[in-house]
């Protein structure tokens, strides 16, 4: 089992990935739900960090620094930096405040000074708002955004024909890495007869709202 399949299994065990009927922000009734906020203890975060590190290292992208958008990206960028350091890649990281600090060092960025090629680390991409804000902050600091890494790519259309991930890739010309995608989830379910009904429900949902894998 590769790390993407292991991640799906881990997310299920942590109840981060659940099956049922869930209403999305777009008003769709989804047969599955992914909530990265439920990776909420030390052991789970340690394991999660290893999956992020594997996804980043396997991508082959040249990276000089890491950035985590507030708020969920803050713990994610910190644990990813730790996991990468354990693998011999010690990278500086920074994150932003939602409110600009008007005393002390001031500004909205905390952590390392951003320079070179910066990878954005987040949980998911919904509307792409945090990515847009992150790209603007990184460029304003004189650095270059080189990609985004997220936990799960639902590979689902937004308001148009593209998914939020595809829109980010189109608008900013940077790759979006995912620890796992809907393709990986479907592959996992196909090997599990006990999830046959869930696989069928997700396949129907995907036929209605899904997009093809990004090139």
Per-residue pLDDT band for 100 (boundaries 50, 70, 90) equals low
pLDDT at 97: 85
Asked if residue 62 has pLDDT above 80, the reply is yes
pTM, two decimals, is 0.92
Asked if residue 103 has pLDDT above 70, the reply is no
Catalytic annotation, residues: 101, 103
Asked if residue 206 has pLDDT above 60, the reply is yes
Torsion, CA 71, CA 72, CA 74, CA 75, rounded to 10:
140
Domains of the chain (ranges; CATH) run: 3-209 (3.40.50.2020)
């Amino acid at each position: 089992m590769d790390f993407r399949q292991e991640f799906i299994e881990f997310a299920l065990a942590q109840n981060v990935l659940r099956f049922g009927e869930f209403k999305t922000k777009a008003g769709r009734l989804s047969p599955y739900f992914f909530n990265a906020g439920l990776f909420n203890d030390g052991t789970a975060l340690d394991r999660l960090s290893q999956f992020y590190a594997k996804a980043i290292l396997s991508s082959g992208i040249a990276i000089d620094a890491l950035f985590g958008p507030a708020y969920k990206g803050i713990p994610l960028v910190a644990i990813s930096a730790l996991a990468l350091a354990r693998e011999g890649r010690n990278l500086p990281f920074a994150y932003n405040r939602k409110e600009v600090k008007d005393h002390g060092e001031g500004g909205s960025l905390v952590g390392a000074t951003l320079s070179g090629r910066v990878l954005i680390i987040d949980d998911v991409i919904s509307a792409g708002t945090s990515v847009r804000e992150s790209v603007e902050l990184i460029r304003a600091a004189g650095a270059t955004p080189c990609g985004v890494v997220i936990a799960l790519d639902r590979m689902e259309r937004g308001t148009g024909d593209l998914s939020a991930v595809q829109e980010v890739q189109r608008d900013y010309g940077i790759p979006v890495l995912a620890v796992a995608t809907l393709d990986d989830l479907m592959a996992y379910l196909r090997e599990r007869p006990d999830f046959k009904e869930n696989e069928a429900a997700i396949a129907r949902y995907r036929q209605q709202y899904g997009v093809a894998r990004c090139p």
